[in-house]
Amino acid sequence: MTARPAILFRLALRNLGRELRRSSLTAAAMVWGLALLIVSRTLSDGAHEDWIDSGVRLATGHIVFNAPGHRTSESLEDHLTGEQTAAALAAVRALELPEAALASVRVSTRGLASSPDGAIPVAIHGVEAGAELAFSRLGADVLEGRYLEAGDRLHAFIGQALALRLGLRTGSRMVLTAQSAAGEIEGQLVRVVGTFRTGLAELDESVVHIPLQTAREWLGVEGATTISTLLPHSSFTARALEELRARVAPGEIEITPWEESTPELHSAVRLDDGGDWVFHLILFAIVAMAILTAVFMSVLNRKRELGLLRALGLSGRETGWVVFIEGLMLTAAAGLIGIGVGFALVWIFFRNGLDLTGLMPQDFTFGGIVFDPVMYPVIEARHLLQSLFFTAVIGISASIYPAWQAAALDPADSVKVE
Amino acid sequence: MSTTSTPRPTSTSPPAAPVAVRTEALWKIYPQEPQPVEAVRGVDLVVERGAFLAMAGPSGSGKTTVLNLLGGLTRATRGRIRIEDREITELPDRELARVRMHRIGFIFQSYNLLPVLTARENAEFTLLLQGVSAAERKRRVHELFAEIGLEGMENRFPPKLSGGQQQRVAVARAVLGNPALVLADEPTANLDSATAEALLDVMQRLNRTMGTTFVFSTHDPRVMERAERVIRLVDGRIERVDVPGA
């Protein structure tokens, strides 16, 4: 630019001001586009985090420790020793995160639950009552009775559907049968202290929680089959995984992130994220078309003026800059307002959430997740910056073509346009 | 109008004064279908500094095209153009823009003011591009506006000015940068008779007081009467040069 940029900026600014109605309409398209993008992005991030949180809490956490081979064999022979369990717990406690990570030590196996009414295959989890209550929140879904407590020994907390099928109630007794670490079939009599209902049939029909110590003694496992770790947020997974792998002896303990331990959950999130991107691309395209049309029309309408600028001493490139700066200013102004409007809407949803109760049946489940019909936004800086970056790129890109057209105008033809 | 005529000259008489613009064998051919249009055909022209010269001819004779070629708004197909001592025929776009900024002023038939700028801002636009200081711009605009009857109009936007006032602002813009050459394309065509006379008075006075070179493209006999020479163009060629009053 040889002419002083201030002149070009002044011309661009006044041109926008002159076509205030058109500029405002274009800006409005951008403002609502960006605001919608921010709201949609934060709500979808909030929903995804909610899915991940509820999914990993009911499964094996954000990161899970196993003995090598246990994830495929599911055999009690492949369990973590007491020392390995202690080392893994120490590593979790040493994680440098904004909030402490939770860890739940479990001895899990498959077995049979029997009552006078019949026998059903079940997933048996020996758990520490206090830690598990904070972790899985099954205790929050108590339908009858209570969750396990410290000091419980021969007690069980079971799904409501399982209780119904076996004709059990709080206080009823049932027999659990499973293969021990030594390979023997062992039975254990337990008394039901409570039942839960999550809405997920596979959990409600088959999960049995018993005290960890009971499971260890019954099944002959000294340490644990899994240590599930819950992080403050799923976005810490990669970082925490790296730290844990660095701290715990590799090869002796297998450490797996939730994306691998619960692949169906990961797929559900990715699928939904893909859908969001398609929606966002459509939004981007609408915003781009709005800017392109408005700026391009203004070039066509001002052909004579742009030709005049050439006659007065601006080069083609500088004339193009005037138009490009108009597009930039429009993008910047609409971008700032759009961010303001977007965050104002997000703030409303922060307080009240977006209630979709009317749009989905109660206990709607997919991919091992129970969906909460009330969505709350989560601001993920990475996604927000991506949205702003793409909006800026689109605003700039949509201004390039009209600017190029302005730069390529024939000044002699343009000045005679009536 | 009293004139003397030369039979179909191909150039004006060689001037004694320094040259403002010179063309040699200038051609402009528009590549149109089915046949290319030869808008300007071998024009040799010499305009001395301080001239007040008109180009006349029927519509389509090439007047505006010659003006556009002289002003670097369009490029010649063949031939050469020199503005003072500078050959502009092959200059790249950016250099040509600088030549227009520093050496050429334009006045158009339809005023062509920038509607987003005030009268003062329009007039000083070229000075602004040239990097002239704000104080100097203000001084020059103030003096010239006083001289051409635009005092008090400085802060009006073009739509708030009459046609004659807008054209005077355009004249001010054209001459304020002290160009070697002012090219005026039918400047009086949209003005009533009295306003046109007043505008011509202004331009003639500026020609005399500031020594600004004016080249008009016109059909207007009032412009031709005031011109020192009238170049008659027919079908893209100089047919003859008339000297009014001679």
Cis, peptide link before residue B34, omega less than 30° from 0: yes
Which among B97, B114, B117 is the nearest to A313, CB-wise? B97
Cβ-count burial of A126 within 10 angstroms (0-12 exposed, 13-18 middle, 19+ buried)?
Answer: buried
B40 within a domain of the structure (yes/no): yes
Quick: pLDDT tens for A212-237: 999 999 999 989 999 999 999 998 99
Q: What is residue A363's predicted lDDT score, i.e. its pLDDT?
A: 63
Our count of domains for chain A comes to 2
Nearest chain B Cα to A3, which residue? Answer: B129
Residue B11 belongs to a domain: no
Show the domain range for A89: 61-261
Q: If you search the block for the tokens 């005031």, which residue do you land on?
A: B226
Last residue within a domain, chosen from A203, A233, A261: A261
Is the residue at B105 inside a domain? yes
Pairing of strands B104-107, B19-30: unpaired
In a domain, B35, yes or no: yes
Same domain, A364 and A379: yes
Query: What region does B112 belong to: left with phi over 0, alpha with psi -120 to 50, or beta?
Result: left
Q: Are residues A73 and A47 in the same domain?
A: no
**Is B171 domain-assigned?**
yes
My answer on whether A113 and A182 are in the same domain is yes
Residues 102-121 of A with CB under 8 A from B: none
- Does A98 share its domain with A37? no
Angle, in degrees to the nearest 10, between helices A316-352 and A5-18? 60
- Rounded to whole angstroms, the Cα distance separating B88 from B78 reads 12
Hunting for tokens 């206080």 — which residue is that? A171
| Dist CA B177 CA B132 (whole Å) | 9
- One domain, residues A40 and A24: yes
Average pLDDT over residues A113-133: 93
Asked if residue A417 has pLDDT above 70, the reply is no
Mind telling me how many Å the CA of B244 is from chain A's nearest CA? 29
| Alpha-carbon gap: A296 to the closest alpha carbon of chain B (Å) | 18
User: Are the C-beta atoms of B236 and B36 separated by less than 8 Å?
Assistant: no
| Domain stops at, among A236, A261, A286 | A261
Name B218's bridge partners: B56
Q: Are residues A285 and A246 in the same domain?
A: no
- Given a contact cutoff of 8 angstroms between Cβ atoms, the answer to whether A155 and A171 are in contact is no
Cβ atoms of residues A237 and A62 within 8 Å: yes
Q: Per the structure, how many domains does chain B have? A: 1
Lowest average pLDDT, out of A278-287, B150-159, B202-211, goes to A278-287
Binary contact (A4, B129; C-beta < 8 A): yes
Judge if A281 and A404 occupy the same domain: yes
Kindly state whether residue B114 falls inside one of the protein's structural domains. yes
Whether A63 and A256 have beta carbons less than 8 Å apart is answered as yes
What helix, strand, coil percent values describe chain A, rounded to 5? 55, 20, 25
Res B218: pLDDT: 93
Does residue B181 form part of some domain? yes
Asked if residue A297 and residue A234 are part of one domain, the reply reads: no
A221 with A72, same domain: the answer is yes
Predicted complex ipTM: 0.85
Which CATH number fits the domain that encloses residue B99? Answer: 3.40.50.300
Do the Cβ atoms of A415 and B73 come within 8 Å? Answer: yes
What does the pLDDT average to over B214-242? 93
Mean pLDDT calculated for residue range A377-385: 83
Q: What is the pLDDT of residues A35-90, one digit of tens each?
A: 888 888 888 888 888 888 888 888 889 999 999 988 888 888 899 999 999 999 99
User: Residue B112: which of A4, A304, A412 has the nearest Cβ?
Assistant: A304
Run of H or E including B104: strand B104-107
Q: In terms of residue numbers, what domain contains B143?
A: 19-242
| Residue that finishes a domain, picked among A200, A226, A261 | A261
Verify that A292 and A380 share a domain, yes or no: yes
Looking at the fold, whether A16 and A101 belong to one and the same domain comes out as no
- Band (pLDDT 50/70/90 cuts) for residue A364 is low
**Which residue among A2, A15, A313 sits closest to B116, beta carbon to beta carbon?**
A15
